[in-house]
Chain A
Amino acid sequence: MNVGIVDSAMTATAKTLGAFSKWKPVRALGKQFDKDLGTALAWTTVGSIVAKDGVGCAMYVYQSKHNKEIPDDRRRFVTATDLTNGVLMIVAQIALYMGMRKFSEPIFNKVFKKSFNDETMRNIVSIVRKLQKSMGVDPSRKIEIIDKINKLRQNGLDIFKFVLDLAAATIVAKRIVVPFVAIPLASRLEKKMLADEMKAKGLTPAEDENKGDKSTPSMTGKVEEKVAKVEEGKNLDTGSTNLLSKYKN
């Protein structure tokens, strides 16, 4: 009975996956993988990371924009930060990934220069042939040994490139560059959003009271004080872990 259920489930899965595998875009992707496996794998992996960030960004922006528990003035900043973070993450990751792809091979060549220079290649060829002779094996042709060395080099290069390109995108761009750029940009976006809102209401945006103070409003605690007055005594903790939703406390 159980075997029958498992088998039916597997057949249904196979039929679904089968239809998916015959889908034109999947076939086209298959062609790309067949053409250049390393590049296709790397691009789909970075595509996956960017897609996840895109979905995450959309979720956060939607959540913060519609979260009525966040006071209006804070909601703008939270939404602005989520949006700036998301867009910057996607753009920076793609940019650094593409940039690093041009540098990773020269870096590999520099790091492993000693392993693949002419002298080492010649030495490896001689030692391999010597070992073969000592074992009673026909010494291989030079091109065969060089081919094997190049294959080993190519395998190493593929993995090195994969790791370095992705590390540049997901570690340097996403975790180092974006956090430093996102906060000041979010402040600008927040001001623009406020100006747009005021304009829509037919009001003139107020003069900046804190001229010269470059700190982010929500972080300096200025808005926080105002909110504390308005919402005094109310427990605003929703348990949300949205990065900036914590500002409401």
Chain B
Amino acid sequence: MKVEKTTTNYVSSNGVKAPRVRRTPSFKGSPVQQVATEAVKAAEKFDMEKTILNLLPAKKAFEIMDKFKAFQGEAGGILITALGTGIVAPIVIGTNPLVKAKPGATEEEKQEVKNKKWYTAWRQPISAILAIFFQLGAQKPIDKVLDKVYNDPKYSQYVDLYKDQSAVRGESYVKKLVKADMDKKSMRKSTLFDYIKDYKGAKARNKKYNEAFKEAVANAMNSDIEKVAQTIRQEGVIKVGERVIDNPTLAELLNRTIDDSLAVARKLRINEKSLAHYTNKAELLMMNEERIREVFKNVPQDSASLETYLKKALANEQNKEVQEIINDVLKKPKDMRLSRIERTLERIDYIADMCGGKGKYTPDKYLQAMSERNGVLDNIITKLNLNKIKDLKNVTKEQIQDAISQFIKNSTFDKNNELYNSILHDTQAFDCVKKMEDGKLVNPLEEKVYKDIAKAYKKFVSNNYKAVNQLTKVMVGVGITLPITCTALNIIYPRFMALVFPEMSGIKKSPKVEEGGAK
């Protein structure tokens, strides 16, 4: 596969146009392309979600919440209920002031009531432990059976088409397959014994295993998406084994994909409130352009010197508006001040560009340029809305294919059109980059759109499967594990109390009870 060199103009902070490496690189081997390849490698390494998570002030809380995500559903319900039953309920029952001895009761009678309350209270933690053991313990086997039935085409042919995950297998099922495959290849995780024998080696081996596992899972899941995307592209349908997803559902999935692009276009549009903010900000920057450039020229790169420099500049500055801008920078955390300065200079260049070049800024021109931007986006929004299939019931395969082609066309822009480029560049929903594939110039957006429809299908099937998964667990819980838990409680609770708290159970006082035993 050959990929054409792709660069676009990028206005750097100092106003000089520099070649800007785009996301789709060339692999021809020239120095520029080498940089591009490295950029792609770096982009692959750059995990934006992880970076953002690390930057959140409440990072720890979000990490904990993320770990609980796996329990969202029946398992979470069981855990939270068990928490209430095991910890809160005994305290409330044992200390309930409404349950008290009669007025003027003897010490013995008072003790008897107290014993009864705590006897009853102890039932709760035992009940919670049993609920976790039986009800939570049942979740994994249920998932195992459901995963097999709803993912393995041999069995999934019997289930509802919208819940058949065999074409886009679920993560837990793929993980199981990958693990089995790695076991076959004698690839395994380090054991405790390995760690004792050679800690570093075992740790390195585990890391290697985890990386290989993660990669294999991602590859398998991507391959599913690619296969579905390919079938939609070539045959205009989604095939699930011998069955085919109906046209109205496929059309609905296309509409959802279009909605995602529409959301991006709407976010790019500048609303009335922001328009006033941007206009004021532009006025402030452009009226003081020369002075700002002078102050921010050759600023020190290390944060300590930069702070001294900015404070000195602020003290010496006579212009109140420039003072405001310097203050804005100083308000930022130390390690972000430099990028704030760069961003301010970029903004000045950007505003100038919008008005037709350096020195051509006027508030009217800027407002007009903003309106023009909004006009372009309004146009795209209208076209995309028209792309959506309205009559879902009677839609044909050809109509869907036609709508997909139109959608791709309306999401692609001419990279030579500066206005469109400045608005839509680097948005994943819209693209202008062409690449060479088998001697033909192709639009990678085409591939992306089909993949997005496949991803929408995966989400659709996965959500439908989650419904049946949850319902099955509820039914098993109510019909099977709850009676088992109750029966186990009936057997264990009196025996436990008689063994651990004989006095509370009244055994010492009534030996006959002991004789009868706890049945």
Contacts and interface: CB of A to CB of B under 8 A. Distances in A.
A76 to B, nearest CB: 18
Nearest to B424: A141
Interface stretch (B145-153, B203-211, B295-303): B145-153
B460 interface: yes
Contact of A159 (B72, B120, B123, B264): B72
Contacts of A127: 51, 55, 335-336, 339
A166 interface: yes
B310 interface: no
Given A44-B470, A148-B48, A240-B490, A138 B39 contact: yes
A34 to B, nearest CB: 4
Interface stretch (A15-23, A191-199, A201-209): A15-23
B486 interface: yes
Contacts of A45: 73-74, 76-77, 470
B93 interface: yes
Contacts of A32: 467
B65 A136 contact: no
A175 interface: yes
Given A41-B72, A126-B339, A175-B88, A18 B160 contact: yes
A241 B493 CA distance: 7
A246 B101 contact: no
B81 A170 contact: yes
Given A10-B155, A145-B48, A215 B464 contact: no
Q: Is the interface of A mostly helix, strand, loop or mixed?
A: helix
Contacts of A171: 80, 83-84, 88
B84 A174 contact: yes
A66 interface: no
Interface string A42-84: 0011111101100110010000000000000000000000000
A213 B74 contact: no
A184 B42 contact: no
Q: Is the interface of B mostly helix, strand, loop or mixed?
A: helix
A221 interface: yes
Interface string B469-513: 011111001100010001001100110000000000010001011
Interface in B417-446: 425-428
B482 A41 contact: no
* B-side interface size class: 35 or more
A30 B464 contact: yes
B429 to A, nearest CB: 10
Contact of B478 (A11, A15, A52, A158): A52
B331 to A, nearest CB: 9
Nearest to A181: B98
A212 to B, nearest CB: 9
A184 to B, nearest CB: 7
Contacts of B471: 26, 29, 44
A111 B96 CA distance: 32
A11 B56 CA distance: 49
Interface in B62-102: 62, 65-66, 68-69, 72-74, 76-77, 80-81, 83-85, 88-89, 92-93, 96, 98-102
A163 to B, nearest CB: 7
B46 interface: yes
Given A10-B155, A14-B149, 16 more contacts: A17-B146, A33-B466, A41-B466, A48-B473, A127-B336, A128-B48, A138-B43, A141-B426, A143-B427, A144-B426, A155-B66, A215-B100, A220-B101, A221-B101, A238-B519, A246-B119
The 10 A-B pairs at the shortest CB distance, nearest first, are namely A239-B519, A18-B158, A220-B102, A171-B84, A14-B155, A33-B467, A30-B464, A45-B77, A21-B160, A48-B474
Interface of A: 10-11, 13-15, 17-18, 20-22, 26-27, 29-30, 32-34, 37-38, 40-41, 44-49, 51-52, 55-56, 59, 111-112, 114-115, 120, 123-124, 126-132, 135-138, 140-141, 143-145, 147-149, 151-152, 155-156, 158-160, 162-163, 166-167, 170-171, 174-176, 179-180, 183-184, 213, 215-216, 219-222, 235, 237-241, 243, 246, 249
30 contacts: A14-B149, A14-B158, A18-B159, A26-B160, A30-B463, A33-B470, A38-B72, A44-B467, A47-B474, A48-B473, A48-B478, A49-B81, A51-B474, A115-B62, A120-B56, A126-B343, A127-B339, A128-B52, A131-B51, A140-B48, A147-B267, A152-B56, A159-B65, A166-B76, A174-B81, A179-B89, A179-B92, A219-B99, A235-B515, A246-B120
